[in-house]
Structures are given as structure tokens and as C-alpha cells.
Amino acid sequence: MTNTETSATLTAASTSKTLRGEPKGRTGLARILLGRDAVMIGLLLVTIVLFALFIPRFASPLTVGFLLLDVIPVLLIAMPMTLIIITGEIDLSVASIAGLTSASLGVMWAAGFDMNTAILLSILIGVAAGAFNGVLIAFVGLPSLAVTIGTLALFRGLALVVIGDNAVANFPPEYNAFVTSKLGATGIPTVMIGVLAVVAVFGVLLHFTPFGRGLYAMGYSKEAARFVGIDVVKSKFWLYVASGGVSALAGIYWTLRYSSARSDNATGLELTVVAAVLLGGVSIFGGRGSIPGVFASVLLIGTINYALRLGRVSEVVLVIVTGALLIVSVVTPSIGAALRRLGHERRIRRELPRSDGPGPTGA
């Protein structure tokens, strides 16, 4: 606040100097190369190269395969979550929706449904669960954090009601094989094509459509977004529907990959996804973030986890690393901003005539 006041005084003092004296924002290539996304992607590449050099057996198709198979659920769910957090909301029920779809898929298959029908119905269940969140948050106007903590319990509970303590495991082998199959010798899982399609859809939606622009506007200010003609309610509703649908996909993938439908599948995944999205540069206040950043961040966490496991570093350390990364990534920019502000103020004090000094601080 004092910042704007001092610069206002500065403008009044000498109009000729201000604009030239202020540092310019980055433009063109520099903006792309020094932006948060580029830093994340660079960090990811450096990490991969370092691990490939120093960790035996890391650079192999087998690694690529298992690593990607591991990150797919987080990668999928992180996409709608990015859009939702950009609007300033959150969805904590995603892992429970995945669990619910997993349970229903298992029960339907056990009850003799055709596998394709069962998968389709499971996706519909996920979409319905997302729509339930959407109605409560968008139409009724309840806080999303509280609502999705509620539905986190509710959907997980329904999963328990549906399947109980049982587990369904005897899924058709060709489905399991398809989920874990690789593209030739590259080690890249076949399903990755579908996952990339989902990533592309959300990327285009966010970065190249008016709808996406609107989401940023909503994150900055809902009032303002409404005034410029964005249908805030409908946008929010569809985001939660999308989140439910994608979580269902993740649930089905999980079920088929481990060939096990259980009520507790994907427990705790919601916090991993939120951590990955925030690490990817999405602001929890909304209004800032991008799909490439989140994509790189999910892969970064996945790579570190996998490499440390390969290097026989215990699971423990990865948990600490994830947490530390998250905190460092959000604290660093604010420390940087504080330093810049300090420099800015010092410069202004140097340039200002002394008599104006006490004015702004007194106000």
C-alpha cells in the first residue's frame, strides 16, 4: 500500500522521470524464457539429466514406462484442478470420486455387466459426482473448500457402501494388459496418448479460448468478471463436472492398472494433486497459473520420487522433498518481491527531495 502511495508522490514530484526510471516488465522472448513455466521445465530437464547421469538404471525404457504409469492419475486430475484453482476455488473430493468410480466399476463388473458398459457407467457416476459439487458450489454458492471436504467424506463413504470391505480383482486380462502396454520399445505407455489428449484439451481450453480467459478474470475478481459478461456460475459448474469426469477416468485407470477395485483406492491423492498444481506456479488465490507449468511440475515430482526410489533412498525422504519443494516454491517469489520492493523504495528515497519524505509514511 505504501508502495503505490510513494510512487504517486513521485509522479507528482517529477513527471518526466518516472516512466524511464521504472524497471520495464519483461517482454517477448525474455518473458517466455524467464517465466515461471520455463523455470519449471528447465528444472525438470536438469533433474532428468542429473538423474540419468548419476543414478544407475535410471535412463532406460523401463524407467520411462513405470515413471509415466505412476504419474498418470496425478497428471490427469491436475488438469481440471489447475483450472479450478485459477478461478480461486478448490476441489478436495477428486480422490474420493476416483475411489467411488473404482468401487462401482468393480461391483458392476462382478454383477455381470459388459466391461465397456461398466466403464461408461462409471464415468457417468464420476460426472454426476462432479455435478453434485458443481451445483452446491456454483448455484447454491457455498464455499468450495468446505463443500469438497464434505463430499470427500461423502463419496468415499458411498464407495464403502457400494463395495464394502471386498475387492474385485478378476477384470478381463486384455483390459489390464492394454492399460500397462507400451508403445514399442520406447517404454511410453499407450494410455499416455489419451492422457496427453486430456492435457491438450485443458491446455487449449485455458490458454486459447475466451472461456479460459474468463477463468483468470474470475480468479482476480468475481465481481469484475460478472460485469464483463462472464457467466461465473455456469463456468464454475462445468469445471466441477469436468473435474468429476477426469477423476473418474483416473479411478478407472487405477482400477485396471492394479487390477483391483477397492473402496480405498487413491486415498490421499487430493493433497498430492493440490501440491503438484501449486508447485506448478498456480496461485491459491486464483488468477495465475498455466498448464505447461503444472505439467512440468507433476513430472518433476514423479521423476524425483522414482529416481530416489531407484537410488534406494527411502520413501520418507520423498515426502519431505515434496513438502520442501512446495514451500520453497511459494516462499521464494515472495522473498524476491520483498527484496525488489526494498530496492524500489531505496531508489525512490534517493531520488525524492527530502521534504517529501515523511509524507507517505505518515499517511
Residue ranges that bind other proteins, judged by CB under 8 A: 90, 92, 136, 140-143, 145-147, 149-158, 160-161, 164, 267-268, 271, 274-275, 278, 284-285, 314-324, 326-327, 330-331, 334-335
Rounded least distance, CB 32 to other proteins, Å:
26
- The residue among 167 and 318 lying less far from other proteins, judged by its C-beta, is 318
Rounded least distance, CB 132 to other proteins, Å:
9
Q: d(Cα 8, Cα 167) in Å, to the nearest integer?
A: 66
Please give the grid coordinates belonging to residue 21.
Answer: 526510471
Q: d(Cα 244, Cα 101) in Å, to the nearest integer?
A: 10
Q: d(Cα 288, Cα 214) in Å, to the nearest integer?
A: 12
Rounded least distance, CB 160 to other proteins, Å:
4
Q: Which amino acid is at 246?
A: V
Rounded least distance, CB 172 to other proteins, Å:
27
Count of other CB atoms within 10 angstroms of residue 64: 18
Rounded least distance, CB 212 to other proteins, Å:
23
Q: Which amino acid is at 249?
A: L
Q: d(Cα 360, Cα 355) in Å, to the nearest integer?
A: 11
- The residue among 120 and 161 lying less far from other proteins, judged by its C-beta, is 161
- The residue among 52 and 145 lying less far from other proteins, judged by its C-beta, is 145
Q: Count of alpha carbons within 13 Å of 54, Cβ hemisphere only? A: 10
- The residue among 53 and 320 lying less far from other proteins, judged by its C-beta, is 320
Rounded least distance, CB 136 to other proteins, Å:
7
- The residue among 189 and 216 lying less far from other proteins, judged by its C-beta, is 216
- The residue among 164 and 357 lying less far from other proteins, judged by its C-beta, is 164
Q: Count of alpha carbons within 13 Å of 134, Cβ hemisphere only? A: 22
Q: d(Cα 203, Cα 211) in Å, to the nearest integer?
A: 12
- The residue among 62 and 324 lying less far from other proteins, judged by its C-beta, is 324
Q: d(Cα 278, Cα 296) in Å, to the nearest integer?
A: 12
Please give the grid coordinates belonging to residue 314.
Answer: 527411502
Residue in this structure with the C-alpha cell 513430472, named with its chain if needed: 299
Rounded least distance, CB 66 to other proteins, Å:
22
